[in-house]
């Protein structure tokens, strides 16, 4: 695939959230906000919602963390501000519940405050592609076959996030950038990498059965756009660690926005172009992936 970096506004660079030019796109997908937990980056999320203008906003599950709220009530004013902003966004808002807000599945096909609650959805991009929208928990074997283990894992994840917050406070004092322990473990632990890959292929397989061109999901907190056997797989990430969203531009191009950094538009793989090799022979020029962008600490 080819990637091209396009700069977007960064939170904190202007004196107020409305000082910078808004990010204008056709569609936005966000998921895994986990409102109701200390790990939710509500201030950054509110900054993003104030800075983006779109025709349709999809909330792709785990917006409110019912699992955590049942264990202990946590609802600061910043979380209330996010809910109020979603209700007053002035755009079409579609909510696809996930496993942490599964209570909302009782209200599918209803509308609350202008927010449509649906089991899943089909979105047609500006260039005519049909994308299936689902949270993705139905393709997580742990959720479906051993829910008690999912609760245990959720507690361990919350512990990792608490540990990570203390660790990053120390890093901030030393002038070091934000570093995610759980994200590191996902990418480095062999079994975690296998879990992510199995999930992605299971979701893509179901999307192919439905006859669509691609799928947009959340659930695993791992933002990505890639081709899986000819089907477009998109994951919009989360607002606990990575602070990412998936956006569709007015020409149908899809991008991952990592709030505070850059957006990475995704384009299909271009055929290799012949290049002049040493000695005058022609050969294919390999595609060079871009260097990863360093993480930044939000103000």
Per-residue pLDDT of the chain in tens (299 residues, 90 and over written 9): 333 333 344 433 333 344 567 899 999 999 999 999 998 999 999 999 999 999 999 999 999 999 889 888 999 999 999 999 999 989 999 999 999 999 999 999 999 999 999 999 999 999 999 999 999 988 865 444 444 344 445 555 566 666 776 666 777 787 877 666 666 655 554 455 567 788 899 999 999 999 999 999 999 999 999 999 999 999 999 999 889 999 999 999 999 999 866 555 555 444 344 444 444 444 443 333 343 343 333 33
Host domain of residue 30: 2-137+214-263
Tell me phi and psi for residue 121, to 5 degrees: -155, 160
Instruction: Please indicate, yes or no, if residue 241 is contained in any of the structural domains.
Output: yes
| Predicted pLDDT of residue 274 | 44
Is 133 among the domain residues?
yes
- CA–CA distances in Å: residue 161 to residues 180, 184, 204, 241: 8, 12, 29, 9
Strands 6-7 and 121-124: unpaired
In this predicted structure, what is the pLDDT of residue 159?
Answer: 60
What is the DSSP code string of 253-291? -EEEEETTSEEEEEEPPPPPPEEE-TTS-EEE-PPPPPP
Provide the terminal-to-terminal Cα distance of the chain, rounded to the nearest Å.
33
Cα 92 to the chain's mean position, in Å? 19
Of the candidates 206, 205, 234, the residue with the CA atom closest to the CA atom of residue 220: 234
Task: Provide the CATH number for the domain around residue 86.
Answer: 3.60.21.10
What is the structure's pLDDT at 97?
Answer: 97
Q: Residue 266: its pLDDT value, please?
A: 56
Q: At how many degrees (to 10) do helices 147-173 and 181-188 cross? A: 120
Write down the residue that tokens 């009530």 correspond to. Answer: 73
Contact 220, 228 (CB under 8 A): no
- Total domain count, the chain: 1
| Beta strand pairing call for 115-117 and 111-112 | antiparallel
Q: What is the pLDDT of residue 231?
A: 97
pTM of the predicted structure, to 2 decimals: 0.71
Assess if residue 181 is contained within a domain. Answer: no
| Residue 11 belongs to a domain | yes
Sign of the torsion angle spanned by Cα atoms 187, 52, 214, 202: positive
| Residue at 176 is within a domain | no
Give the single-character DSSP code of 30.
E
Structural domain contains residue 57: yes
Structure tokens at 92: 């079409």
140: which residues sit within 8 A by CB, 6+ positions away? 99, 150, 199, 219, 220
Asked if the structure places residue 83 within a domain, the reply is yes
The whole-angstrom separation of Cα 155 and Cα 168 is 20
Q: Give the pLDDT confidence score for residue 264 in this predicted structure.
A: 52
pLDDT given at position 143: 41
Residue 256 placed within a domain: yes
Q: What is the CA radius of gyration of the chain?
A: 20
Distance between CA atoms of residues 34 and 238, nearest Å: 9
Distance CA 80, CA 76 (A): 7
Region of residue 5 (left: phi > 0; alpha: psi -120 to 50; beta: else): beta
């Amino acid at each position: 695939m080819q990637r091209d970096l396009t700069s977007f506004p960064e939170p904190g660079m202007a004196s107020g959230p409305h000082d910078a030019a808004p990010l204008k796109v056709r569609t936005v997908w966000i998921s895994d906000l986990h409102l109701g937990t200390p790990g939710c980056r509500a201030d950054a999320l509110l900054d993003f919602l104030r800075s983006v203008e779109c025709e349709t906003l999809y909330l792709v599950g785990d917006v409110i963390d019912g699992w955590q709220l049942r264990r202990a009530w946590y609802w600061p004013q910043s979380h209330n501000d996010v809910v109020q902003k979603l209700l007053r966004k002035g755009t079409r808002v579609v909510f696809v519940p996930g496993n942490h807000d599964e209570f909302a599945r009782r209200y599918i096909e209803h509308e609350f405050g202008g927010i449509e609650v649906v089991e899943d959805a089909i979105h047609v991009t500006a260039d005519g592609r049909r994308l299936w929208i689902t949270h993705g928990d139905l393709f997580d074997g742990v959720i479906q076959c051993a829910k008690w283990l999912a609760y245990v894992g959720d507690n361990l994840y919350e512990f990792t996030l608490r540990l990570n917050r203390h660790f990053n406070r120390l890093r901030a004092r030393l002038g070091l950038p934000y570093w995610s322990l759980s994200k590191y473990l996902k990418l480095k632990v062999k079994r975690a990498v296998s879990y992510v890959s199995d999930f992605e292929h299971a979701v893509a397989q179901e999307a192919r059965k439905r006859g669509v061109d691609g799928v947009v999901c959340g659930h695993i907190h791992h933002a990505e756009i890639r081709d899986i056997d000819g089907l477009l797989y998109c994951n919009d990430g989360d607002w606990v660690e990575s602070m990412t969203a998936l956006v569709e531009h007015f020409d149908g191009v899809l991008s991952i926005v990592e709030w505070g950094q850059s957006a990475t538009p995704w384009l299909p793989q271009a055929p290799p172009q012949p290049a002049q090799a040493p000695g005058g022979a022609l050969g294919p020029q390999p595609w060079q992936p871009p260097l990863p962008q360093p993480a930044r600490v939000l103000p």
